[in-house]
Amino acid sequence: GQHLSQAEWLATHHNAEQATVGLVFYRSHWLTGNTAFVDAIITEIEAQGLNALAVFTYSLKDQDAGWPVCFTLFEHNGGYLPEVLISTMAFAAGKIDRENPTQAGWSVDALDRLGVPVLQAITSSMEYDQWSLSDRGLAPLDTAMNVALPEFDGRLITVPISFKGNVDPADQSSNITHYEPLPERIQSVVSLANRYVTLRQKPNAEKQIAIILTNAPGKAGRIGNAVGLDTPASLINLLHQMADAGYTVGEIPADGDALIHTLIDRCSYDVEFLTEAQIEQAEGVQLATYKGWFNDFPDKNRQQMTARWNGATKEVYFYNDELKFAGLRLGNIFVALQPPRGYGMDPDAIYHQPDLPPTHHYAAFYRWLSKEWGADAMVHMGKHGTLEWLPGKGVGLAHDCYPDLFLQDMPLIYPFIINDPGEGMQAKRRAHGTIIDHLMPPLTTADTYGDLEELQQLVDQYYQLEALDPTKLPMLQQQIWDVMQRANLDDDLQILGKQTHGDHTHDWDDTATEDGTPVSLAEMTGKDFAHLMEDMDGYLCEIGTLQIRDGLHTLGHVLEGDQLVD
């Protein structure tokens, strides 16, 4: 490729009618000619009708007064050329305090100043086959360098776009390697960037935004049951703010109660209350249209979904040849209930079974929002969505991982309680979520609260170590067991261990090993223990909703007086 000055690039590669996507990559890749992946990204950006401004640099830490030197090439006419930035660089641009918690706002001022979304595209040090065959996805080293550290900058995590291969494919003995691009994953990242460009350029009045409420396990009484968040009141606040910002919001219900009652009256997924009149007026997609989408799914997904749920069946939420969706239109805003993850079996088994394929109705909902309703972005209101837990790789998703298959290039904004980074990481890494942290409710004390809080933190750490340092898991399992005994949860664990998972159960042997751990716990494989952690996590969430909280947090509401002290 050519090495151009900014003036030369503007003269030869910049179409003023098109938006520009910035791309940063390592200078070492330029010097060694290891740029096939860069060329492939540039080609895809241009194929999607955008300008590609690719800049190489030694490091994003190479800064002049806190401004990465390479960003000077983005400056133009008092503003900045890119509407969105794709980074292929590892590590963090900002400073990380290794001895203490890294403080918020520490050194992301440069990214604030640039003012555009930054998408982290992952150049993997693995070979393609290693990644493709792995349930985990990325190896711990890749996850640390290309995911965990870049998250400190607030970069949005996407997918692997290249893998390690021989420069000369015919010479397998060669130890000279380069990055082999994966065109389909590159297209995915650039399409997501393109969606963010649209969000920046389209007038707010024309944007269509889907706001999705939690609804596990499909009961009317559990609509919007996010952790620690007064979802209905928060949503009313959000809708008013959106209206003030120029979004076409329609008539906003008087308060949160009115909103929920209107939603339920229109249509819910609770079959005990669902009437024919409600399902008739609900939004929907023709079964034939969905079958066309389904036929384009990868073979693996089609086979798994068909094996578990048969064809695109008419068993649930089906009326007049349409699959029906519960939701309420408010102008260009669609407030929707997240569809049930499954049906016809124990709800707890459904919601904490990592390998249960989603239903056709669930698949149809996400595809309909994007393809037919025309959402420009989705907002998932509060922790406890199910999309980020669907089957697929843990981190570094492929096109046949269910979260990737359903979201595709849809921007996802996710208000999420600040004290649960373990689950928040799942939404960031498996659903390219933009996490907007919200406060916890003020807490008053319950006797078991300290132990439960410690156990929740250990479960969070389990998710982190599983991705970054699996060798430490046995030590963590021992800690988890100690806290469970202290909190008198060991009996509960036996029940969880034996509960049905739809198609299998876990036998439980509480005979103690020499170090005092039950045999069943000691003998569990990583996947089995992860399975148990899913159950434990769900159980802790249930107990957590019973903790003595002084109300719930409302987005946009600042606490005062005694509540602020608590």
Note the pLDDT of residue 446. Answer: 47
114-148 pLDDT, tens per residue? 999 999 999 999 999 999 999 999 999 999 999 99
Residue 209: pLDDT over 80: yes
Higher pLDDT, 377 or 532: 377
Q: What is the DSSP letter of 395?
A: B
Residue 38 backbone dihedrals phi, psi, to 5 degrees:
-70, -45
Report the alpha-carbon distance of residue 271 to residue 7 in Å, rounded: 64
Residue 415: pLDDT over 50: yes
Contact between 56 and 25 under an 8 Å Cβ cutoff? The reply is yes
pLDDT band at 109 (very low <50, low <70, confident <90, very high): confident
pLDDT band at 1 (very low <50, low <70, confident <90, very high): low
Contact between 92 and 150 under an 8 Å Cβ cutoff? The reply is yes
Note the pLDDT of residue 448. Answer: 47
Q: What is each CA distance from 328 to 105, 218, 449, in whole angstroms?
A: 37, 16, 38
- Where do we find the tokens 């664990």? 493
Q: In 317-432, which ranges are E strands? A: 318-319, 322-325, 327-330, 333-337, 377-381, 412-417
Note the pLDDT of residue 170. Answer: 65
Cα-to-chain-centroid distance, residue 493:
28
Tokens of 97: 């305090």
Residue 257: pLDDT over 80: yes
3-35 pLDDT, tens per residue? 899 999 999 999 999 999 999 999 999 999 999
Note the pLDDT of residue 447. Answer: 42
Higher pLDDT, 353 or 94: 94
Residue 391: pLDDT over 60: yes
Higher pLDDT, 265 or 501: 265
Note the pLDDT of residue 410. Answer: 98
Q: What is each CA distance from 357 to 290, 354, 386, in whole angstroms?
A: 17, 8, 12
Instruction: Tally the residues of the chain.
Output: 566
Higher pLDDT, 477 or 429: 429
- Which pTM does this prediction carry? 0.87
Report the alpha-carbon distance of residue 220 to residue 225 in Å, rounded: 10
Contact between 41 and 23 under an 8 Å Cβ cutoff? The reply is yes
Report the alpha-carbon distance of residue 87 to residue 117 in Å, rounded: 10
- Where do we find the tokens 């009256």? 265
Q: How many CA atoms lie within 13 A of 282 on its CB side?
A: 32
* DSSP state letters, 239-295: HHHHHHTT-------SSHHHHHHHHHHH--S-TTT--HHHHHHSEEEEHHHHHHHHH
Residue 212: pLDDT over 80: yes
Report the alpha-carbon distance of residue 257 to residue 231 in Å, rounded: 10
535-557 pLDDT, tens per residue? 777 677 666 655 555 678 899 88
Higher pLDDT, 459 or 214: 214
Tokens of 164: 């390690």
Note the pLDDT of residue 65. Answer: 86
Using the Cα atoms of residue 131, residue 136, residue 137 and residue 138 in order, give the sign of their dihedral: negative
Residue 108: pLDDT over 80: no
Lowest mean pLDDT among 184-188, 209-213, 308-312: 308-312
Tokens of 237: 């606040």
Taking residues 93-104, report their average pLDDT.
Answer: 73
pLDDT band at 87 (very low <50, low <70, confident <90, very high): very high
Angle value at C-alpha 482, between 481 and 486, nearest 5 degrees: 115
Note the pLDDT of residue 270. Answer: 84
Mean pLDDT of the chain: 87
Residue 210: pLDDT over 90: yes
Taking residues 103-112, report their average pLDDT.
Answer: 72
- Where do we find the tokens 């199910």? 386
Contact between 37 and 125 under an 8 Å Cβ cutoff? The reply is no
pLDDT above 90 as % of the chain: 57
Note the pLDDT of residue 560. Answer: 87
